[in-house]
Amino acid sequence: MQFEQAAFPVNRFRRLRRSEALRDLVGENRLSSADFIWPLFIRDGQGIEEPIHSMPGVNRLSVDRLMFAAERAMLLGIRAICLFPYTDNALKTPECEEAWNPENLTNRAIRGLKLKFPDLAVMTDVALDPYNSFGHDGLVVDGKVLNDETVAALVRMTLAQADAGADIIGPSDMMDGRILAMRTALEDAGHKEVVILSYAAKYASGFYGPFRDAVGASGVLVGDKKTYQMNPANQNEAMRLIARDLREGADMVMVKPGMPYLDICRLAKDNFCVPTFAYQVSGEYAMIKAAAQNGWIDGEKVMMESLLCFKRAGCDGILTYFAPQAAAILAEIR
Averaged pLDDT for residues 190-199: 97
Largest Cα span, the chain = 72
Confidence of residue 334 (pLDDT cuts 50, 70, 90): very low
Options 92, 116, 192, 256, the catalytic residue: 256
Let me know if 301 is a catalytic residue. no
User: Pairing relation of β-strands 168-171 and 49-51?
Assistant: unpaired
Three-class DSSP labels, the chain: CCCCCCCCCCCCHHHHHCCHHHHHHCCCCCCCHHHEEEEEEECCCCCCEEECCCCCCCEEECHHHHHHHHHHHHHHCCCEEEEEECCCHHHCECCCHHHHCCCCHHHHHHHHHHHHCCCCEEEEEECCHHHECCCCCCCEECCEECCHHHHHHHHHHHHHHHHHCCCEEEECCCCCCHHHHHHHHHHHCCCCCCEEEEEEEEECCHHHHHHHHHHCCCCCCCCCCCCCCECCCCCHHHHHHHHHHHHHCCCEEEEECCHHHHHHHHHHHHHHCCCEEEEECHHHHHHHHHHHHCCCCCHHHHHHHHHHHHHHCCCCEEEECCHHHHHHHHHHHC
Share of the chain above pLDDT 90, in %: 87
pLDDT at 145 over 50: yes
pLDDT at 37: 98
Contact 263, 235 (CB under 8 A): yes
pLDDT at 74 over 90: yes
pLDDT in tens, 56-65: 999 999 999 9
pLDDT in tens, 99-140: 999 999 999 999 999 999 999 999 999 999 999 999 999 999
Share of the chain above pLDDT 70, in %: 98
pLDDT at 333: 58
pLDDT at 171: 98
pLDDT at 327: 97
Mean pLDDT across the chain: 95
Averaged pLDDT for residues 192-209: 96
pLDDT at 221: 82
pLDDT in tens, 10-28: 888 888 899 988 898 888 8
**What residues does each domain of the chain span?**
31-333
Options 92, 202, 289, 311, the catalytic residue: 202
pLDDT in tens, 221-262: 888 999 999 999 999 999 999 999 999 999 999 999 999 999
pLDDT at 167 over 90: yes
pLDDT at 1 over 70: no
pLDDT at 84: 97
Let me know if 289 is a catalytic residue. no
Pick the CATH number of 31-333 from 2.60.40.10, 3.20.20.70, 3.40.50.970, 3.40.640.10: 3.20.20.70
HSE-CB at 216 with a 13 A cutoff on CA atoms is: 20
Non-local CB neighbours of 68 within 8 Å, separated by 6+ positions: none
